[in-house]
Amino acid sequence: MSIEDIKQQQEKWENSVQKTLEKHPERKTFEEKRLYTPTDIENLDYVEDIGFPGEYPYTRGVQPTMYRGRLWTMRQYAGFATAEESNKRYKYLLEQGQTGLSCAFDLPTQIGYDSDDPISEGEVGKVGVAIDSLKDMEILFDGIDLSKVSTSMTINAPASVLLAMYIAVAEKQGNPSTSLSGTIQNDILKEYAARGTYIFPPKPSMRLITDIFAYCSTNVPLWNTISISGYHIREAGSTAAQEIAFTIADGIAYVKAAVKAGLDVDTFAGRLSFFWNAHNNVLEEVGKFRAARRIWARIMKEKFNAKSSKSMKLRFHTQTAGSMLTAQQPDNNIVRVTLQTVAAVLGGTQSLHTNSRDEALALPTEESVRTALRTQQIVAYESGLADVIDPLAGSYYVEAITDKIEKEALEYIDKIEKMGGAVEAIEAGYIQKEIQDSAYKWQKEVENNDRIIVGVNKFQIEEPPVKNLMRIDATAGELQKEKLAKLRAERDNEAVKMSLEELRTACGDENVNLMPVILKCVKTYATLGEICRVMRDVFGEYEPHTNI
């Protein structure tokens, strides 16, 4: 491409984004150029044309204007103890300038058990909020207009049930489901490979996912129906290339399942989203994000014959790396999270959660979560990083690391496809083994001082115990049991029984979309545990393979 061609393409691009910028005058006040291209580099001989933001294959971002048009959504992952306590934290975060909610659920909720189930003993409200029924969900979002806030819910195996509860709460507020925006994680394959909060075997789990795709495409069209997650794969110990390879392989499996179920790719693919980890190596992470966009765009266009540009755009949420936080010298974590935030922003994230300084020790206090949110706000409004679109494009190193990660990831994806796909690779233990090997290698490097972790294996100090850590109310479990007993005494138990029997019948018929039936159960105040018990009875439970 000649210099004149590049200049003409840039002029065309500038004209195409002008109208978007006019809608956001607050983002037009910067003196810097909006976009830098090869024409800005004195020696052009080495520069390849890497394209423009908002244009296929989206290496430089999924939107032409990126943060010049609109900043990323600022979310803080939150949830603990009871719905009442978590509701207070959500309102506090919104008051502090958070622009989207992100719900953390406790372990019993994540694996489909009620708080009064014996298996839940000692775990209620510990790592997230306990949600047993629609009543809890009503309390969780009390005073929060769901038509005006985007909500992300980190829930997988019982995602259909929690989404149904959210829809029911919105309707009780007077908001139709068509007005709702947000995301459910709904990514069961990475649970089998890296996280462990699965319930059902792969086949019925994939059915639930494709039923959600189909239902939301008509009834909740603004909702991101899945957040295909590399975050937990990275937290489990993978490399950057493995993170995007295994995640995109999962994405391919979901698209295949949906197409096999009869869905047209362009009716659902535009609402698929991704969830990445922001690790410590800033420039490697930037390259990872850019490579992931390029790989996904080409897969959707070339493998699945997607026609809509929305189907090819890899939109993603990012969370800073919890596994990189240290209990030693916890104030150092503020610096780590800042660097990870910079990586996510330079990489073009659409949404971001920043971890808090004390999360290696406990759930974050209000003070520490405020500092984490302020980190995003300072990067957004003071650093200048949001003023230029893809500012590192054309860098010798960034372009090289983008290509390197892309090559490594594609090799993994190709190997997984030859095995039959992500489900088969997980069943064979291949993905788990690769992650474990990478985690072991990292840990040995730390133990041998080949990899320095400040405050852990170098620059240690004598430290007093950390004070003012957050403590979860030990009575949360008993409170939830009391609420459940009251609910079961006051609800229409005959209606509950009938709705659960209807669900049992529907689960046995693969031609029935389960979402409307689950929504009916939820509205009778059937509990999460009761609904999941019916599905366990019909679908069975997943038995993990140990062929590693």
Write the DSSP assignment of 256-309 as a string of letters.
HHHHHTT--HHHHGGGEEEEEEE-S-HHHHHHHHHHHHHHHHHIIIIIS---SH
Taking the C-alpha atoms of residue 519 and residue 395, their distance in angstroms, rounded to an integer, is: 51
Pick from 23-37, 181-195, 329-343, 505-519: least confident: 23-37
Judge whether 384 and 342 are in contact, CB under 8 Å. no
- For residues 119, 123, 125 and 129, what is the CA-based torsion angle, rounded to 10 degrees? -60
pLDDT-based confidence at residue 133 (cuts at 50, 70, 90): very high
pLDDT tens-digit series, residues 435-461: 999 999 999 999 999 999 999 999 999
Judge whether 211 and 161 are in contact, CB under 8 Å. no
pLDDT-based confidence at residue 471 (cuts at 50, 70, 90): confident
Taking the C-alpha atoms of residue 84 and residue 102, their distance in angstroms, rounded to an integer, is: 16
Q: What is the pLDDT of the chain when averaged over all its residues?
A: 93
For residue 229, give the 3-state DSSP assignment. Answer: strand
Mean pLDDT of 95-122: 96
Residue 131 falls in which region: left (phi positive, over 0), alpha (psi -120 to 50) or beta: beta
| pLDDT for residue 464 is more than 80 | yes
Pairing of β 316-320 and β 272-278: parallel
- For residues 338, 341, 342 and 348, what is the CA-based torsion angle, rounded to 10 degrees? -170
Taking the C-alpha atoms of residue 468 and residue 141, their distance in angstroms, rounded to an integer, is: 28
Amino acid letter for position 60? R
| pLDDT for residue 28 is more than 70 | no
Mean pLDDT of 492-521: 98
Question: Which two structure tokens, joined as six digits, stand for 302?
Answer: 């070339």
Mean pLDDT of 30-38: 60
- How high is the pLDDT of residue 544? 82
> Angle at Cα 361 formed by Cα 360 and Cα 367, nearest 5°?
95
- How high is the pLDDT of residue 51? 85
List the one residue out of 496, 473, 527, 441 whose CA is nearest residue 125.
473
| pLDDT for residue 103 is more than 80 | yes
pLDDT-based confidence at residue 41 (cuts at 50, 70, 90): low
| pLDDT for residue 371 is more than 50 | yes
pLDDT tens-digit series, residues 405-428: 999 999 999 999 999 999 999 999
Taking the C-alpha atoms of residue 547 and residue 219, their distance in angstroms, rounded to an integer, is: 41
| pLDDT for residue 43 is more than 60 | no
pLDDT tens-digit series, residues 159-212: 999 999 999 999 999 999 999 999 999 999 999 999 999 999 999 999 999 999
pLDDT-based confidence at residue 276 (cuts at 50, 70, 90): very high
CA-based R_g, the chain, Å: 23
Mean pLDDT of 105-120: 97
pTM for this model (two decimals): 0.91
- How high is the pLDDT of residue 44? 52
- How high is the pLDDT of residue 46? 46
Judge whether 231 and 190 are in contact, CB under 8 Å. no
